[in-house]
Copies of this chain bind each other. A is one copy, B any other.
Amino acid sequence: MRIHIQNPPGEDLFAVTPQQWHDAVARAGAIGAGHTVTFGNDDAAFAAAMGETEALLAQPPNIAGRFPCHAPALSLIFCLAAGVEKLAPFERLPEGVIVVNNRGVHGAKTGEFAAMALLMLNSHFPELAAAQREAAWRPIFAPTLRGKRVTVIGAGDLGGAAARQARHFGAHVTGVRTRAVAHPDFDEMVAVEALDRVLPGGEFLVLACPLTAATRNLMDRRRLGMLPRGAGLVNIGRGALWDQEALCDLLESGHLGGAVVDVFAPEPLPAGHRMWATRNLMITPHISADSPVTYNPDSLDIVFRNLAAWREGRSMPNQVDLARGY
């Protein structure tokens, strides 16, 4: 198969290296053999490759805006990301092309981030950090997470990992997903239609769902206001899942207790944006899900696992449903 890997422009920690490809081929067995692979990280390399490429591997930002283009042989796009919203609208992609994501590689790192964020919020860490900046000794004694109620929106790789860690610390975790199908990592699961009913009961809210037409601005000002006073929020999904201005207003007013936020609209968050300095809001720059050590190896293993399914006519475990957007 003719495979092209479009890497980020310039030096990048997450560029797929020929060595990583070679190692993944060695791990893959039969399905790894016999491919012709090209690497590129600029417009010329992309254009040169697409005349014959049958499978394209790339992080979505590296190929966003490149379609429609002359790609007569392209059958498969392997997105080296879980969220594929940057490829939308999907009508611009070649007809019949199959989009595959890498869901499954983010769980371990995301679980750690979610655990850290929940423990920080439960400890009032944002307030303690503010006290440190003032050189002020202002103890706040907090009970443990045990028995606290956490709502997690999204029950995929990220949401499941967050729920697992919250339950490790004894929290009671309610999941919110498209349909109320039970999930082993959650104490209970409700359909998104029941979101308004569960929001007031959760002392912590974790956003861990994909950004789609259905989830954009899901946590709007009205819903953020339904959270109980002092609630802590974590966003490891996408910035456009909530109303950032309303979030800031509710943190400044003290209605919300704190937030640990890893994703923003837009990214990078502009220097003048009010979120940088909003009270009790702690910012991390979209680092919650990606380990530089395991990201590409794990992603390439998923590529070959899906390629094997495709060759054998089985359903691909990571195929994106373009109608749903994830």
Set of chain B residues within 8 Å of A144, measured between Cβ atoms: 108-109, 112, 291, 294
Which has the most chain B C-beta neighbours within 10 Å: A140, A282, A285? A285
CA gap between A108 and B272 in the complex, in Å:
41
Copies in the complex: 2
Q: Which residues of A approach B to under 8 Å, CB–CB?
A: 13-14, 108-109, 112-113, 115-116, 119-120, 122-123, 125, 128-129, 131-133, 135-146, 168-169, 267-269, 271-273, 276-277, 282-287, 290-294
Task: Report which of B129, B268, B277 forms a contact with A282, defined as CB distance below 8 A.
Answer: B129
Whether B135 pairs with A271 at a CB distance below 8 angstroms is yes
Whether B284 pairs with A128 at a CB distance below 8 angstroms is yes
Secondary structure at the A interface, as helix, strand, loop or mixed, is loop
If A109-B144, A113-B123 touch, whether A137 touches B291 (CB-CB below 8 Å) is no
Whether B135 pairs with A292 at a CB distance below 8 angstroms is no
Task: Report which of B120, B139, B269 forms a contact with A137, defined as CB distance below 8 A.
Answer: B269
| Smallest Cβ-Cβ distance to A277: which chain B residue | B135
If A132-B276, A268-B137, A287-B140 touch, whether A116 touches B112 (CB-CB below 8 Å) is no
CB distance from A152 to the nearest CB of B (A): 18
Task: Report which of B113, B131, B273, B284 forms a contact with A285, defined as CB distance below 8 A.
Answer: B131
